Structure 1
Amino acid sequence: DVVCLFVCFQGAEGAAAAAHALSLPAEAYGNDPRLEVMWAMKAYNHAEVYFNLISSVDPKFLKLTKLDDRIYSSFRETFKDLDVKLLQADDLKSEEAKERWRPFCNQFEGLVEDFNYGTLLRLDCEKDYTEENTIFATRVQFFAIEIARNREGYNDVVFRSKSSKS
């Protein structure tokens, strides 16, 4: 479980170990489970920060990158009919989807920092990050889908539900 992995590596020592490990070249590792834990921890942190952000700030006003306009227009040009409100795993993981996503993502190489890093993405934007509602995506896929959700009003439900509880 990602939450358990995160808790296991908290603290200054865990952060220092993670920073050192992540700075080493990929060849230094086989399938080192510690590295997988560190990446899971980083992905979980990113997801938690983002969810807190859309819970406390009206998503329509969020700017996630300097290239939001370009990412959004290219995304909607390429994926006109993709239902960003409720994604299916096949929208990202099927062979056909991968063939469509690859050129979309690669156009942002060198423009979007860590464009191809693994990131957690909610399938149903009206729900929180849970094991059933989370899929692993690239950072630029996350940006494209979440920018669309913000601009098209789908993330408003998260903001409204959190702000009505305050």
Structure 2
Amino acid sequence: MASNDGLAALGVEGASAAAHALSLPAEAYGNDPRLEAMWAMKATKHAEVYFNLISSVDPKFLKLTELDEQIYSSFREAFKDLDVKQLKEDDLKSAQAKERWRPFCNQFEGLVEDFNYGTLLRLSSEEDYTEQNTIFATRVQFFAIEIARNREGSNEGVYKLKPSKS
């Protein structure tokens, strides 16, 4: 993933103000474009850090949350046949999919911090974050899918393609 200054460009005071603003309830803002820009920067930074992590550490050894086992078990119970290696937008965004995802996600309210925050998710586990390979998902959807990818070996390709370090 191409790196840019993102939050670092804001400086310490700007980043602190952004963090405070992002902690306020959504009702406080309406459709403020500045807030949308801050969310986009935060989501992009999260995606960059995560991709660097799975590129550097064998994903099968990663633990993303304290609730990985519960999230994974519940996810595979609810979505037995979902192909996490190659997602389609309809797997998360169709009306039928939203009806299936809603109870799954809501069970983690109060358990997973910021469970419904917007997060970037790769459609294909074998590719980096690009405009064509990225979809917006909730944080708990991201965790469920990425935990499954890590445990089921779908992220191994990213790790194995990393440049070798001599």
Question: Normalized against structure 2, the TM-score is what?
Answer: 0.91
| Aligned position for 1:145 | 145
Which runs of structure 2 are paired with 1:1-40 in the superposition (5 Å)?
6=6, 9-40=9-40
CA deviation digits over 1:17-74, x for unaligned, max 9? 3123223333331210000001111111111111011010000000000110111011
Whether the aligned pair in 2 keeps the contact of 1:89 and 1:135 (CA below 8 Å) is: yes
| Aligned position for 2:124 | 124
Take 1:148 and 1:20, find their aligned partners in 2: how far apart are those partners?
A: 32
| Aligned position for 1:96 | 96
Letter in 2 for 1:115: F
Take 1:14 and 1:105, find their aligned partners in 2: how far apart are those partners?
A: 32
| Aligned position for 1:55 | 55
Per the alignment, in what secondary structure is the counterpart of residue 132 of structure 1? coil
Per the alignment, in what secondary structure is the counterpart of residue 10 of structure 1? helix
Structure 2 unaligned spans of 5+: none
| Aligned position for 1:105 | 105
| Aligned position for 1:77 | 77
Take 2:15 and 2:52, find their aligned partners in 1: how far apart are those partners?
A: 21
Question: Normalized against structure 1, the TM-score is what?
Answer: 0.91
Deviation at 1:115, TM superposition (A): 0.5
Which runs of structure 2 are paired with 1:146-165 in the superposition (5 Å)?
146-164=146-164
Structure 1 unaligned spans of 5+: none
Deviation at 1:122, TM superposition (A): 0.2
Take 2:16 and 2:91, find their aligned partners in 1: how far apart are those partners?
A: 37
Take 1:23 and 1:141, find their aligned partners in 2: how far apart are those partners?
A: 20
Take 1:165 and 1:127, find their aligned partners in 2: how far apart are those partners?
A: 21
Take 2:44 and 2:163, find their aligned partners in 1: how far apart are those partners?
A: 23
Deviation at 1:163, TM superposition (A): 4.5
Whether the aligned pair in 1 keeps the contact of 2:7 and 2:42 (CA below 8 Å) is: no
**Count of residue pairs brought into register by the alignment:** 164
Identity between Structure 1 and Structure 2 (%): 80
Whether the aligned pair in 2 keeps the contact of 1:123 and 1:135 (CA below 8 Å) is: yes
Q: Report the aligned-residue RMSD.
A: 1.9
Whether the aligned pair in 2 keeps the contact of 1:5 and 1:41 (CA below 8 Å) is: no
Deviation at 1:83, TM superposition (A): 0.5
Q: 1:15 to 1:37 in 2, by over 3 A?
A: same
| Aligned position for 2:86 | 86
